[in-house]
Chain A
């Protein structure tokens, strides 16, 4: 579970960078928030 959380967190970090590179891109923003929600789900399941 810890590895899954780390991987999900890394995905959030990557998407943070992607949004920073294209802050007006709504699709990238939505993907970033999906990544955050996925991390939330893993943390809630702990």
Chain B
């Protein structure tokens, strides 16, 4: 049984040790369903999913700075052996160099967001609406607690099924770029639940973040559709209070595609058409992914840290490459 986790344990070690790129979502590397590439000649790990004729890579190489290019080169050779094309998602700006050197085209695909807990406060007019929403949910009788998974897993799975049912017929549970709970790595996550009349009204899981902005990643969230407004906000505020008291430095809100596309100049060699298309999906792509709705929640917390997140195309910007990221996520 231990051998089943040998590869993902190695990936975990890599994301903890090789934080060159400071990928705030790196913990998704240990999601079940991921495949791992490593090379006998280079330390580190590449996380990916074989998807159709593509290898969809998560993040950049989790490797020492001086080895990333060699590991990527070996991964390129590995893909060629299978006649597959690489597309990498959630590539950080600090990951870009080895990709550019090897002829990849890199475009910004969205951004991730974070707050500095050492300076964070909900005081002031800007947060009045949020404070009021949280207060209303608590007045409704909502109780928020940090809990172990075991006591709540059944209710969480039922809530997940109920939530998925509201998304329409045939809509599948997303994978790959979203968190998981349970399983081998659950002890490394934290879980906060909202309880109303003794029953689960919502939950948020938090995953560890390593590197220069360490802390927790606001990961999976679900709430009862019929619950009062403010459940998520109340849960997250409680978690923020707990983390702050512990001296945790940062709370990350993770990646949202199609967002914050013009915060910094695009990388050299990028595709203008793909950049246009990402902007178009921000404006008109709610059916593809509800980016505006997701960002609206994150912006309630006024995240002062915005980190560009990129897509790297092996053979130039490509629509099928983009589609295969969605396919790896079980979204198509």
Write the B316-328 contact mask toward A (1 if CB under 8 angstroms, else 0). Answer: 1111101110110
Measured in the bound complex, the distance between the Cα atoms of B116 and A29 in whole Å is 42
The answer to whether A23 and B276 touch (CB under 8 A), given A33-B318, A36-B271, A36-B317, is no
| With A33-B316, A43-B273 already in contact, 9 other A-B pairs whose C-beta atoms are closer than 8 Å | A12-B319, A13-B277, A16-B277, A16-B319, A23-B320, A23-B323, A36-B319, A39-B273, A40-B273
A residues in contact (CB < 8 Å) with B: 5, 9, 12-13, 15-16, 19-21, 23-24, 29, 32-33, 35-37, 39-40, 43-44
Question: CB within 8 A of B319: which of A24, A32, A43?
Answer: A32
Lowest 5 CB-CB distances: which A-B pairs, in order? Answer: A32-B319, A29-B320, A39-B273, A40-B273, A43-B272
Measured in the bound complex, the distance between the Cα atoms of B52 and A20 in whole Å is 12
Measured in the bound complex, the distance between the Cα atoms of B280 and A12 in whole Å is 10
User: Which residues from B are CB-within-8-Å of A19?
Assistant: 319-320, 323
Question: CB within 8 A of B323: which of A5, A16, A43?
Answer: A16
Question: CB within 8 A of A12: which of B52, B273, B324?
Answer: B273
Interface status of B286 (Cβ within 8 A of chain A): no
- Interchain nearest-CB distance for A19 vs B (Å): 5
Measured in the bound complex, the distance between the Cα atoms of B52 and A33 in whole Å is 17
Measured in the bound complex, the distance between the Cα atoms of B319 and A33 in whole Å is 6
- Establish whether residues B280 and A9, one from each chain, have CB atoms under 8 Å apart when the complex forms: yes
User: Which residues from B are CB-within-8-Å of A20?
Assistant: 323, 326, 332
Write the B7-21 contact mask toward A (1 if CB under 8 angstroms, else 0). Answer: 000000000000000
User: Which residues from B are CB-within-8-Å of A32?
Assistant: 318-320
Which chain A residue has the least Cβ–Cβ distance from B322? A16
Question: CB within 8 A of B276: which of A21, A24, A43?
Answer: A43
- Establish whether residues A40 and B319, one from each chain, have CB atoms under 8 Å apart when the complex forms: no
Main SS of the interface on chain A? helix
User: Which residues from B are CB-within-8-Å of A23?
Assistant: 52, 320, 323-324, 327, 332
Measured in the bound complex, the distance between the Cα atoms of B131 and A26 in whole Å is 52
- Interchain nearest-CB distance for A43 vs B (Å): 4
- Establish whether residues B319 and A9, one from each chain, have CB atoms under 8 Å apart when the complex forms: no
Could you tell me which residues of chain B, from 44 to 88, have a CB within 8 Å of some CB in chain A? 52-53
22 A-B pairs with CB atoms under 8 Å apart are A5-B276, A9-B280, A12-B273, A12-B280, A16-B288, A16-B322, A16-B323, A20-B323, A21-B332, A23-B324, A24-B53, A29-B318, A32-B318, A32-B320, A33-B320, A36-B271, A36-B277, A36-B318, A39-B277, A40-B317, A43-B276, A44-B272
Which chain A residue has the least Cβ–Cβ distance from B279? A9
- Establish whether residues B326 and A13, one from each chain, have CB atoms under 8 Å apart when the complex forms: no
Measured in the bound complex, the distance between the Cα atoms of B52 and A40 in whole Å is 26
